[in-house]
Chain A
Amino acid sequence: AQKITQTQPGMFVQEKEAVTLDCTYDTSDPSYGLFWYKQPSSGEMIFLIYQGSYDQQNATEGRYSLNFQKARKSANLVISASQLGDSAMYFCAMREFDNNNDMRFGAGTRLTVKP
């Protein structure tokens, strides 16, 4: 069964600094996709970035990048140059290719950016 682990319930970062949010996963399927979502206090879930298990390069989207270490089964989100608006809950999720409908989420990390 799929399992997603986010070990950091809360993180603090100084504005303009970089921060890494950890995510490890467990799957026996060689083909899978990893996703990160941001949830501000208003509640909506915002899709940030995607990494496929066969992608050769780490995914990047603006200030977001994914540090994908397949052998260690980790997919950490790196946010560069943190902004106050980055304060939110962040969720890591995974979908196995053989189970196209089923996306599993971690418990989330609450990031607080300090001015």
Chain B
Amino acid sequence: DVKVTQSSRYLVKRTGEKVFLECVQDMDHENMFWYRQDPGLGLRLIYFSYDVKMKEKGDIPEGYSVSREKKERFSLILESASTNQTSMYLCASSLFPGGANQPQHFGDGTRLSIL
């Protein structure tokens, strides 16, 4: 089974801090994704990466950056955390090309609170 591991289940940070959310997958997947989940809005794509050192903006990239130095690891960075970034963050991975029928495999999520 695919295992996607997010470094923290719960995280509390202060406004203005630089925050790192880490994600590691063990199935040699090319694609990795970061989503933000808010009530009533579903999952919204922040960034995705289809290869090492490659990244593409999703729907809501403002205030975030990402890093993919190794194939198995995809990091989400909040450059200067703000209270409106309090949310649930989900990391996912999938095969590429693999076919459009490939599901994305998700981590357990990180509930991030910015005070």
Residues of A within 8 A of B (CB): 4, 6, 9, 31-33, 35, 37, 42-45, 47, 50, 52, 91, 93, 95-97, 100-103, 105-108
- Out of A43, A52, A106, A107, name the residue touching B9 (CB < 8 Å): A43
Given contacts A43-B111, A45-B92, A101-B48, contact A91 B42 (CB under 8 A): yes
Give the bracket for the number of chain B residues in contact with chain A: 20 to 34
- Out of B45, B100, B103, B109, name the residue touching A43 (CB < 8 Å): B109
Given contacts A42-B108, A43-B109, A100-B97, contact A107 B40 (CB under 8 A): yes
Given contacts A43-B88, A50-B101, A96-B100, contact A105 B109 (CB under 8 A): no
Given contacts A43-B9, A44-B108, A106-B42, contact A101 B103 (CB under 8 A): no
Q: Is the CB of A108 within 8 A of B108?
A: no
Q: Is the CB of B103 within 8 A of A35?
A: yes
- Out of A6, A42, A102, name the residue touching B45 (CB < 8 Å): A102
Q: Does B60 interact with chain A (Cβ within 8 Å)?
A: no
Nearest CB in chain A: distance from B96 CB, A: 7
Within 8 A of A (CB), among B11-39: 31, 33, 35
Nearest CB in chain B: distance from A46 CB, A: 8
